[in-house]
Chain A
Amino acid sequence: MFFSQQQTAHQHLNHLDWLEAEAIHILREVAGQCSNPALLFSGGKDSICLLRLAEKAFRPGRFPFPLLHIDTGHNYPEVIAFRDRKAAEIGERLIVRSVEDSMQRGTVMLKHESESRNKHQSVTLLEAIEEHGFDACIGGARRDEEKARAKERIMSFRDEFGQWDPKNQRPELWNLYNARSHKGENIRAFPISNWTELDVWQYIEREGLELPSIYFAHTRPIVYRQGSIVPVTDITPAKPGEEIVDLQVRFRTVGDITCTAPVISDADSIEKIIAETATTTITERGATRLDDQASEAAMEQRKKEGYF
């Protein structure tokens, strides 16, 4: 089940071994320093890596935290099914909190029915943190994803309103992480900060990790809209006048249906995805995240408001 190519004391770690060792160290620091953490698990590729890293960090013991998913209600059914099956398979507790519930409580108000619920996840996340008294949330964000993330700490402080203040971050030196917080405040911990999209795929290959099927090339009805490929679903139907075509696509990033677009690809295996990722000329979010493109500082703004 586990890989066999272990290093001996006189060799240097290869780059995946090093990234893995760092991530395990960070996970154990969260467990050692925080009294009530949670691990955010969406069923996406980054959080699938996190689960394997948590197994390597804490087995044969149980995880010292539950898994938490903030469900927008607009997720691909394959991914939700995968999420539930995976949590059951590893025998850890999964907590799901949904944006729908926040809407019913009136804490999330959509401007219009078709508005993306992605940014409203922040509200539901903060509600879940308060409900369960979590003092830390472990997430799969990577610094290579987006320029605001490039500046984020591995242990990133959020105030009692969930806000990130990029100008006033705790200095982070050596591997001495400071995850201290007062009641009501929260630490977001990012064990795979130093990983790139390619590292994630190489790790998935090395560890033989299973993924939701939509990561692999498949045929799907789409429309072209403002230069993006938009999948046609119940939530995102074609607009009048748009032509629906069947296209061979895969998803590089998996999130809310309303803001996640696939890319044209015939990569139907991990080897092919790695080859494609190594030679792509478009960033992961550039092609696929409709919400990040709203302005130059879209991600930074959402993070300040409590988004991951």
Chain B
Amino acid sequence: MTHPIEDHGLLRLLTCGSVDDGKSTLIGRLLFDSKAILADTLSAITKTSQRRGMQEVDLSLLTDGLQAEREQGITIDVAYRYFTTGTRKFIIADAPGHEQYTRNMVTAASTANLAIILVDARRGVLTQTRRHSYLAHLVGIPHLLVAVNKMDLVEFSQARFEEIKRDYLDFAEQLGIREVQFIPLSALNGDMVVDRGENLNWYQGQTLMEILETTPSAQRRHAAAFRFPVQYVCRPQDASNPALHDYRGFMGRVESGSIAVGDSVTVLPSGLSSTVKAIELGGAALADAATEQSVTLLLADEIDISRGDMIVKTGELPAQTKQLAATVCWLAESPLDRARTYLIRHTTRDTKAKLADIAYRVDVNSLEQQAVNQLAMNDIANVTFKLAQPLFVDAYAQNRGTGAFIVIDASTNNTVGAGMVS
């Protein structure tokens, strides 16, 4: 019963841009042209638009779901949207663009593999463009796409497009962004979104939809070292089934790299080694497992392993540290307090942590480094934490899975910080 249609998997993306760059219109256009907006939804937002005295249907109503958002006409939190082209499924993390919502953009960016950075063709590269590019780069989104929107308002001028492209590349170089794609489009008319249209014939590249359909979804972590944080240990202990008496399955998701039956592995923190005896998924035996697959590993030797341990390939060990240097985005209203003890959650491991040092805070508009004593909400800074237990980490730039952590306030249980290992 398999489908004859090719399946290009799933791509997670983020759209960003300043308030009037046409972000909602672009999302609306993608959803509309791919038929993800259904008639009853459209009729509901048409009614609301009319009630508010608007001439045309306000597609931004599609993305503003909460009561307070509809009342105020603003977006206050990340929302997730879905559409499919038949061959690939897309998840859009729709984050608000306002400066005070840096934390929301970091949240949305953390799972994205592609960022569409919208630039208004009339206004060119703005502070917001720089801020969003910096954040997208910081969070390690592997594919950046600058969409020069509202080309209809600059008479579809190639010269204007090239000018914006040059401006952007100058700035991208300063940030160390190596790869970036550019596309001219009109979200309002639909030129170069799904259809090529007639107005941008000087542009020879792919349409936005073609880019979205062909961008690799997770290639970087496929090439990285094998990392398998243990989530759960399966010991069936079923008296009626003696065959399962010695079953010890280590359950988790392959954060990066791949593993095959017969590979030799080391278990952290014990440092003990064994070989992979079997890989299972739902009762089926697999020869190997790749990045992002949730599987069960069985090892040849009896080693004591529990949740929070990590299985890696022998000879490909991550760094072990009790002094965690990282870039942190502070997410909470109460500031990061030197006197307090926090919890850091890294993969499936939790440890107590205290702030040891703030090297500098980054001004996300000017990218200037500033000396500060504490971190407030939306601040991004380079800090060092002192840990109660060692963590096994990779640099975030090398591995998003084992280079990321969250900071939890143990008294409220809230997630208060997002960290990326330096």
Q: Which residues of A contact B282 (CB under 8 A)?
A: 2, 55-56, 59
Q: How far is the CB of B380 from chain A (nearest CB, A)?
A: 14
Partner of B236, one of A5, A60, A143, A205: A60
The answer to whether residues A176 and B406 also contact, given A61-B236, A143-B82 and a CB cut-off of 8 A, is yes
CA–CA, A56 and B235, complex, Å: 15
> Which residues in chain B, 232-251, are within 8 Å of chain A measured between CB atoms?
232, 234-236, 238, 244, 247, 249, 251
Q: Are B251 and A21 in contact (CB under 8 A)?
A: no
Q: Which residues of A contact B78 (CB under 8 A)?
A: 151
Closest to B348 in A: A32
> Which residues in chain A, 169-200, are within 8 Å of chain B measured between CB atoms?
169-176, 178, 180-182, 193-194, 196, 198-199
CA–CA, A196 and B34, complex, Å: 14
> Which residues in chain A, 141-170, are within 8 Å of chain B measured between CB atoms?
143-144, 147-148, 150-151, 157, 166-167, 169-170
CA–CA, A19 and B348, complex, Å: 20
Q: Are B76 and A167 in contact (CB under 8 A)?
A: yes
Counting CB contacts under 8 A, is A28 at the interface?
Answer: yes
Counting CB contacts under 8 A, is B106 at the interface?
Answer: yes
Q: How far is the CB of A181 from chain B (nearest CB, A)?
A: 6
Q: Which residues of A contact B345 (CB under 8 A)?
A: 176, 178
Partner of B283, one of A59, A170, A283: A59
Q: Are A182 and B292 in contact (CB under 8 A)?
A: no
Q: Are B284 and A6 in contact (CB under 8 A)?
A: yes
Closest to A20 in B: B294
The answer to whether residues A7 and B413 also contact, given A174-B110, A196-B84 and a CB cut-off of 8 A, is no
Q: Are B283 and A15 in contact (CB under 8 A)?
A: no
- The secondary-structure label for the interface of chain A is loop
Counting CB contacts under 8 A, is A104 at the interface?
Answer: no
CA–CA, A144 and B92, complex, Å: 12
Counting CB contacts under 8 A, is B169 at the interface?
Answer: no
Partner of B293, one of A13, A32, A287: A13
Which size class do A's interface residues fall under?
35 or more
Closest to A281 in B: B39
The answer to whether residues A180 and B413 also contact, given A194-B82, A296-B44 and a CB cut-off of 8 A, is yes
Q: Which residues of B contact A294 (CB under 8 A)?
A: none
Counting CB contacts under 8 A, is A245 at the interface?
Answer: no
Which size class do B's interface residues fall under?
35 or more
CA–CA, A31 and B251, complex, Å: 11
Q: Which residues of A contact B84 (CB under 8 A)?
A: 196, 198
Q: Are B106 and A173 in contact (CB under 8 A)?
A: yes
> Which residues in chain A, 110-145, are within 8 Å of chain B measured between CB atoms?
143-144
- The secondary-structure label for the interface of chain B is mixed
Q: Which residues of A contact B80 (CB under 8 A)?
A: 143, 150-151, 193-194
Q: Which residues of B contact A55 (CB under 8 A)?
A: 282-283
Counting CB contacts under 8 A, is B65 at the interface?
Answer: yes
Q: Which residues of A contact B290 (CB under 8 A)?
A: 7-11, 13
Q: How far is the CB of A280 from chain B (nearest CB, A)?
A: 7
CA–CA, A260 and B120, complex, Å: 45
Q: Are A31 and B232 in contact (CB under 8 A)?
A: yes
Q: Are A15 and B293 in contact (CB under 8 A)?
A: no
> Which residues in chain A, 183-228, are within 8 Å of chain B measured between CB atoms?
193-194, 196, 198-199, 202, 205-206, 208
Q: Are B331 and A283 in contact (CB under 8 A)?
A: no
Counting CB contacts under 8 A, is A109 at the interface?
Answer: no
Q: Which residues of A contact B216 (CB under 8 A)?
A: 12
Partner of B10, one of A15, A25, A157, A174: A15
Residue-by-residue, is B74-118 near A (CB-CB < 8 Å gives 1, otherwise 0)? Answer: 001111111010001101000000000001101100110000000
Counting CB contacts under 8 A, is B321 at the interface?
Answer: no
Partner of A205, one of B1, B247, B307: B1
Q: How far is the CB of B285 from chain A (nearest CB, A)?
A: 9
Closest to A19 in B: B10
> Which residues in chain A, 23-74, are within 8 Å of chain B measured between CB atoms?
24-25, 28-29, 31-32, 55-62, 64
Closest 10 pairs between A and B when the two form their complex, measured CB to CB:
A56-B282, A147-B65, A286-B40, A9-B258, A24-B294, A14-B7, A180-B413, A173-B110, A281-B39, A28-B231
Chain B positions near chain A (C-beta within 8 angstroms): 1-3, 7-10, 38-41, 44, 48, 65-68, 70, 76-82, 84, 88-89, 91, 103-104, 106-107, 110-111, 216-218, 222, 231-232, 234-236, 238, 244, 247, 249, 251-253, 258-260, 281-284, 286-290, 292-294, 307, 331, 345-348, 400-401, 404-406, 408, 413-415, 418
Give me 12 A-to-B residue pairs in the complex whose CB atoms sit less than 8 angstroms apart, sorted by A's number: A8-B290, A12-B217, A15-B8, A25-B253, A60-B244, A61-B235, A166-B68, A171-B418, A173-B406, A176-B346, A196-B89, A296-B70
Chain A positions near chain B (C-beta within 8 angstroms): 1-22, 24-25, 28-29, 31-32, 55-62, 64, 143-144, 147-148, 150-151, 157, 166-167, 169-176, 178, 180-182, 193-194, 196, 198-199, 202, 205-206, 208, 271, 280-283, 286-287, 296-297, 300-301
